[in-house]
Amino acid sequence: MQMAAMEGSGQTTFTEGESYQDHFDPRAYLNSFYSCPHGNSDENCLKYELRQLSKSFGAGKYKGRRLIEIGSGPSIHGLISACEHFEEIIMSDFADCNRQEIERWLRADADCFDWDPVIQFVCEVEGNRRTPGEKKVRLKQTVKQVLKCDVRLENPFGPLVVGPADCLLSCLCLEAACRDLETYQRVLGNLKMLLKPGAVLVMVGVLNETFYMVGGKRFSCLALRESFIQETLKNLGFSVEEFNVMPLRSNNMVSDFTGIFHVVARNCF
C-alpha cells in the first residue's frame, strides 16, 4: 500500500497497517509523545489518559486472569496500572518495528526507551503503593506474549487462536487502523469475540481527529464522534459503564483532535 501523507504532500489514501510496517518510526513516536508525563507539549493529554487508566484499574474492580491489549504500538503506558490486577498480559501490534521496540524494553536492552518518568507518575497517582522499580518488574513479569495483530481480520491473531480475555484494552489504535466507520464497527465486533461474557472493554481514543504527525510523516485517523461510539457499542451488546471525555484542541501541527475519550464497556452476551 502506498504511504498516504508525507509531510508537504496531500493525503491520497488512508494509512493502514502496511504504512506503519514500512514508514512508522517508533522511537520518533515515543520521543514525541511519551518522553515525559505531560506527553507532547502541543497536545498535553497524556496525564489525563494515565489518570483515567489508573482510575479504571487502580481499585481492582476490573481484574482476572488474562488481559489482551490490541494495538499496543511501541508503548507500554496503557498497562502500567492494569498489570496489578491480571495474571497475564498479551500485547500486540501490526508493525514489526513496534513489537521489536516493546521487546527491547522487556529485555532491558541498553538502547531501550526510558519509561521511568511515566512509570513514576503513575505510581504517584496510585499513592506510591509500589516504587517505580517494583512497578516495572511487575509489568515485565505479567507480559507473557507480544503478538502480531491485524484488527482488520476476523481473527486478529490468525492463524493463532488466543483464548478469551477478562479484559480487552486498546489505546489510540482503532481510529488509526480503520479507514471508515463501517470498518470500525466490524472491527469492534471481531474484538468482542476475544472477550468472555461479562468481561470488559477499556478504550482510550481521540475525537474528530483526521491526522497525526510522527517524525515528519503524516498518518491518517478516522474522525469519531462520541454518539457513534456509544451507539456502536450498544448495538454490539456492550453495556457502557463509563464514557469520559476531556475536550482538548490540538494545534493542527502535530494532530487535529478536539477531545480525548476513555470508555469502559461490559460484554453483556
Quote the CA–CA distance of 21 and 95 in Å, as a whole number: 5
Is 29 part of any known ligand binding site? yes
Amino acid occupying residue 177? A
Quote the CA–CA distance of 174 and 151 in Å, as a whole number: 8
Quote the CA–CA distance of 6 and 219 in Å, as a whole number: 8
Is 244 part of any known ligand binding site? no
Is 56 part of any known ligand binding site? no
Q: What is the 3-state secondary structure (H, E, C) of 4-66?
A: CCECCCCCCCCCCHHHHHHHCCHHHHHHHHCCCCCCCCCCCCHHHHHHHHHHHHHCCCCCEEE
Number of H helices, E strands in the chain: 9, 9
Amino acid occupying residue 218? R
Is 151 part of any known ligand binding site? yes
Spatial contact of 92 and 147, defined as CB atoms under 8 Å apart: yes
3-state secondary structure of 136: helix
Is 98 part of any known ligand binding site? yes
Is 35 part of any known ligand binding site? no
Quote the CA–CA distance of 3 and 115 in Å, as a whole number: 30
Which residues are part of a known binding site for S-adenosyl-L-methionine?
29, 34, 71-72, 93, 98, 150-151
Which residues are part of a known binding site?
29, 34, 71-72, 93, 98, 150-151
